[in-house]
């Protein structure tokens, strides 16, 4: 077993963990969606402001849910491609995007970028070194 393959397996495991965490956090915006539906359908006040506020809360919840869902799926795909040692560019882009998603994403993204830039790893992916 070559050392760079071992590093790629570690990164694969870390990307799987991060993808599962992101998918778990994608359940939190569902609370905002249900809260927005409740505010939107509340019949105690005939004001338009409550309906607008409910629609805004629903929109924020839906947007956050879709963002987290997409990030989780893309992170899990990056883990899969790391294990298969293919789609170098996709993994590189996901590593850059992960740098924008908090401290775990920053650390994982930076170390993934550093690992992907090694000549041995580029050769594993079929890229010129």
Interior/surface letters 48-75, b for 16+ CB within 10 angstroms, e for the rest = eebeeebeebbeebeebbeebeebbebb
First to last CA, the chain: 21
Q: What is the pLDDT of residue 40?
A: 79
Q: Where are the alpha helices (DSSP H) in the chain?
A: 3-25, 29-41, 48-84, 88-98, 103-116, 119-124
Q: What is the pLDDT of residue 4?
A: 47
Cα dihedral 101, 106, 107, 110, rounded to 10, equals 130
Which pTM value belongs to this model? Answer: 0.85
Q: For each of the chain's 129 residues, which pLDDT tens digit applies?
A: 555 456 899 999 999 999 999 999 999 999 988 888 888 787 666 666 777 888 888 899 999 999 999 999 999 999 999 999 999 999 999 999 999 988 999 999 999 999 999 989 998 888 887
- Angstrom distance (rounded) from CA 93 to CA 97: 6
User: What are the residue ranges spanned by the domains of the chain?
Assistant: 3-124
- Give the residue carrying structure tokens 């992101």: 22
Nearest Cα to 4, choosing from 110, 127, 128, 117?
117
pLDDT of residue 13: 95
């Amino acid at each position: 077993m070559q050392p760079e393959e071992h590093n790629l397996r570690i990164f694969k495991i870390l990307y799987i963990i991060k993808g599962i965490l992101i998918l778990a956090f994608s359940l939190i915006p569902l609370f905002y969606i249900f809260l927005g539906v409740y505010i939107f359908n509340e019949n105690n006040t005939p004001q338009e402001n409550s309906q607008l506020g409910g629609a805004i809360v629903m929109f924020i919840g839906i947007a956050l849910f879709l963002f987290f869902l997409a990030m989780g799926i893309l992170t899990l795909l990056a883990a899969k491609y790391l294990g298969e040692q293919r789609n170098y560019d996709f993994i590189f882009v996901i590593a850059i995007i992960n740098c924008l998603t908090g401290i775990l994403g920053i650390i994982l993204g930076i170390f993934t970028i550093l690992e992907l830039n090694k000549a041995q790893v580029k050769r594993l992916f079929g890229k010129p070194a």
